[in-house]
Amino acid sequence: EVQLVESGGGLEQPGGSLRLSCAASGFTFSSYEMSWVRQAPGKGLGWVSSISSSGTTIYYADSVKGRFTISRDNAKNSLHLQMNSLRAEDTAIYYCARTRVANDAFDIWGQGTLVTVSS
């Protein structure tokens, strides 16, 4: 079964750091572009970051550029998001998502992990 499972969410103070992980199974992880998408409580979906299958090409939303770092470990079938200098507005459910084919729609999503930034 194709599956993505996120972990690492939790409560963090403003200015703090968290590292999210996404474990992939059921498909050849190293062949797919991967992304993080977030959803603030009661709000719509917002794209955060994407990384190519090899890890050589990376994109970030302006709102997280310089604070968040996306990475992947193809040997361990895992995707990560290092989140530094957290702000209250980063509070959201964070989903990892697979891109269907290169530069296309997100077809497989994890269940999400909740990040709460609050003092």
Partner 1 sequence: AIQMTQSPSSLSASVGDRVTVTCRASQGIGNELAWYQQKPGKAPKLLIYDASTLQSGVPSRFSGSGSGTDFTLTISSLQPEDFATYYCLQDYNYPRTFGQGTNVEIK
Q: Is there binding between residue 94 and partner 1 (CB under 8 A)?
A: no
DSSP label at 21? E
Task: Report long-range pairs for 26-33 (Cβ below 8 Å, ≥24 apart).
Answer: 26/1, 26/2, 27/2, 27/98, 27/108, 29/72, 29/74, 29/77, 29/78, 30/54, 30/74, 32/98, 32/99, 33/98, 33/99, 33/102, 33/103
Structure tokens at 17: 């750091």
Show contacts with partner 1 in window 15-34 (CB under 8 A).
none
Q: Which stretch binds partner 1 (CB under 8 A): 8-16, 70-78, 79-87, 102-110?
A: 102-110
Q: Which stretch binds partner 1 (CB under 8 A): 11-19, 41-49, 69-77, 80-88?
A: 41-49
Task: Report long-range pairs for 70-73 (Cβ below 8 Å, ≥24 apart).
Answer: 70/36, 72/29, 72/34
Q: Is there binding between residue 9 and partner 1 (CB under 8 A)?
A: no
Which residue, 75 or 105, is less far from partner 1 as judged by CB?
105
Show contacts with partner 1 in window 43-82 (CB under 8 A).
44-47, 50, 59, 61-62
Q: How far is the CB of 47 from partner 1 (least distance, A)?
A: 4
Q: Is there binding between residue 112 and partner 1 (CB under 8 A)?
A: yes
Interaction site with partner 1 (CB under 8 A): 35, 37, 44-47, 50, 59, 61-62, 95, 100, 103-107, 109-112
